[in-house]
Amino acid sequence: MRNIGRPSLKTVLKTTTVAGLAAVMLSSGIPAQVVQSYAAPVSVTAPQAPSFADVVSAVSPAVVSVRVQSDAQPVSDDNSNFSFNFGGRGFDQLPDDHPLKRFFREFGGQMPGQGDRNQDRADRNGPRNRDNPNRPHRLRPAAQGSGFFISEDGYVVTNNHVVSDGSAYTVVMNDGTELEAKLIGKDSRTDLAVLKVDATSRKFTYVSFADDSKVRVGDWVVAVGNPFGLGGTVTAGIVSARGRDIGSGPYDDYIQVDAAVNRGNSGGPTFNLSGEVVGINTAIFSPSGGNVGIAFAIPASTAKDVIADLMKDGKVERGWLGVQIQPVNQDIADSLGLKEPTGALVVAPQEGSPGQKAGIKEGDVITAVNGQSIKDARDLSRRIANFGPNAKVDIALWRDGKSQNVSVTLGNLQSDEAAKATPEQPDAPAPSSEKALASLGITVAPAGDGSGLSVTDVDPDSEAAARGLKTGEKIISVNNRKVSSAADVGKVIEQARKDGRTRALFQVEGNGNSRFVALPINEG
């Protein structure tokens, strides 16, 4: 019997055309109708991956490496796996419920150590003395990062943490040209700095900032920089998230990208496909010390205003309200009668601050500034900072179950007096006299200074313990009413129940700091 099966694989692979394939099949005795179905050409359109070559070619001349030298001892590499640390705030100071801290516990293994500063890898060889090439330069290498030109006359943007310890700066262009630069200004709160290259005989290729309000999660981005000293390195990825809070300060509003960003990329730009800067690379999350696809960039909208101020005055002036704040969660909102957990809860106004002078009190919730709603504590910090000193603003407050407004003339934020959330407080010795508030899971006694109640014991299975209340802390007020005895607490709680509240807001103080804790009162 004649074999009318399919031709051998070897025969088919030798066939280079559809016609040739048909001839082989017919010669093998395969019926014509079968040959037609086998030999019909198949048209497949392969998806085209985006090419970033045009973007890279246009922007690369504007991206530089930044070398920093210092008179001080060389700064060692930051071995912290969590590679950011601005204003002296380390990873271990993040709140226990911070999403990045939980992420690291679950997936990162051992908790990273705390570094003094997020320093990019140092150039260990250092520059040579130009007058005597055989003699090392007297300045010590401190850091090496990235930057980019934003004007044709030589202004360069980079990170504050790249240049902060330096006394001499060198900009290395993509063609290898080295140019001396001077520091124009820096801002630790946003981790931005501006350098200036003096080269009047040439004009520099520069890039502009994008409108990052149009940046969407999923958009393509390209990062160009100097990772590990390898200048002109290009990586690509997408925008992974927006509005990230990484615990570096009150102005956190980062763009998260998954483009490969490593040590040395700090200060370098992240571009959209139009060659515009959407963000400035400033931090990475990395259990290994290298790229794991989680990098953070300062948004262009933040950078533009700060850089303009630095270029003009060498510093950034911000409005200052002078109140200590914390977020409003659902428990706090319920305790205060707010419909939504929005706004910023005032823990305490600072003595003599603009907020105190305007009548803002502890327990107030700031819900709007100049008619614009406040989302949370970080949102308030950014809004106030965007105003200049001496600006007059209208503050909407939620107090005693109703809204009211105050007018505030802002001060000048000169130092790290920015409004901030209150950290968890350590234990303190407990007084001897005690009286129980069993329904809340706490035991209290009159404070030794006659103000408030000292917490002498906390039931470890109670809601109070779950919300971080600790022995040795002091209860100052409940629902914004001062308390000096357990009876005072009972009266306030009873009134809250009559008002239909399910929680009461406790102002807790310890180690000189204060915070608010909402406890359930519909039990016991």
Q: How far apart are CA 450 and CA 476, in angstroms?
A: 11
Residue 270 lies in a domain: yes
Give residue 34's Cα distance to chain centre: 64
Last residue within a domain, chosen from 291, 313, 335: 313
Question: In terms of domains, do 329 and 395 share one?
Answer: yes
Residue 476 has pLDDT above 60, yes or no: yes
Residue 338 lies in a domain: yes
| pLDDT bracket for residue 236 (50, 70, 90) | very high
Whether this prediction's pTM lies above 0.75 is answered by no
Residue 49 lies in a domain: no
Split into its structural domains, the chain has a count of 5
| pLDDT bracket for residue 96 (50, 70, 90) | low
Q: How far apart are CA 41 and CA 414, in angstroms?
A: 74
Question: In terms of domains, do 116 and 172 share one?
Answer: yes
Question: In terms of domains, do 300 and 341 share one?
Answer: no
| pLDDT bracket for residue 240 (50, 70, 90) | very high
CATH code where residue 184 lies: 2.40.10.10
98 is catalytic: no
Residue 119 has pLDDT above 50, yes or no: no
Question: In terms of domains, do 96 and 129 share one?
Answer: yes
Closest CA to 225 of 214, 235, 236, 233: 233
Q: Which residue in this structure is represented by tokens 């055309």?
A: 17
The pLDDT tens digits for 423-459 are 343 333 333 333 446 677 788 888 766 678 888 888 8
Q: How far apart are CA 350 and CA 343, in angstroms?
A: 19
Residue 1 lies in a domain: no
Question: In terms of domains, do 374 and 445 share one?
Answer: no
Average of per-residue pLDDT across 76-98: 43
Question: In terms of domains, do 338 and 441 share one?
Answer: no
Neighbours of 376 (CB within 10 A): 19
Residue 61 has pLDDT above 90, yes or no: yes
Residue 289 lies in a domain: yes
User: Could you give the 3-state DSSP secondary structure of residue 518?
Assistant: strand
Distances (CA, A) of 362 to 89, 392, 397, 401: 26, 21, 11, 14
Residue 152 has pLDDT above 80, yes or no: yes
CATH code where residue 408 lies: 2.30.42.10
Give residue 269's Cα distance to chain centre: 16
CA 87-89-90 angle, to 5 degrees, is 135
Q: Which of 78, 120, 187, 191 is catalytic?
A: 191
Structure tokens at 29: 């005795």
191 is catalytic: yes
Structure tokens at 428: 């303190």
Give residue 429's Cα distance to chain centre: 36
Q: How far apart are CA 312 and CA 46, in angstroms?
A: 52
Residue 305 lies in a domain: yes
Q: How far apart are CA 152 and CA 99, in angstroms?
A: 41
Last residue within a domain, chosen from 313, 339, 370: 313
Q: How far apart are CA 392 and CA 254, in angstroms?
A: 28
Question: In terms of domains, do 81 and 139 share one?
Answer: yes
Q: How far apart are CA 320 and CA 327, in angstroms?
A: 18
Q: 405, 395 in Cβ contact below 8 A? A: yes
Which residues neighbour 145 within 8 Å (Cβ) at sequence distance 6 or greater? 65, 66, 68, 120, 158, 159, 162, 163, 225, 226, 264, 265, 266, 267, 268
Question: In terms of domains, do 32 and 127 share one?
Answer: no
Question: In terms of domains, do 101 and 183 share one?
Answer: yes
Residue 429 lies in a domain: no
Residue 56 lies in a domain: no
The pLDDT tens digits for 464-473 are 888 888 888 8
- pLDDT in the model for residue 503: 83
Query: Which residue range forms the structural domain that includes residue 242?
Result: 208-313
Q: Which of 65, 78, 83, 161 is catalytic?
A: 161
Q: Which of 266, 335, 454, 477 is catalytic?
A: 266
- pLDDT in the model for residue 253: 85
More confident residue, 189 or 25: 189
Strands (E), 410-468: 411-412, 435-437, 442-446, 453-458
- pLDDT in the model for residue 479: 83
The pLDDT tens digits for 372-423 are 999 988 889 888 988 888 899 999 999 988 999 999 999 887 633 333 334 3
Question: In terms of domains, do 66 and 115 share one?
Answer: yes
Strands (E), 120-276: 140-149, 155-158, 168-172, 178-187, 192-197, 220-225, 233-244, 254-257, 269-271
Question: In terms of domains, do 17 and 67 share one?
Answer: no
Question: In terms of domains, do 107 and 185 share one?
Answer: yes
47-51, 317-321, 489-493: which has the minimum mean pLDDT? 47-51
379 is catalytic: no
More confident residue, 208 or 264: 208
- pLDDT in the model for residue 406: 93
Three-state helix/strand/coil letters over 336-391: HCCCCCCCEEEEEECCCCHHHHCCCCCCCEEEEECCEECCCHHHHHHHHHHCCCCC
Last residue within a domain, chosen from 285, 313, 341: 313
The average confidence (pLDDT) of the chain is 77
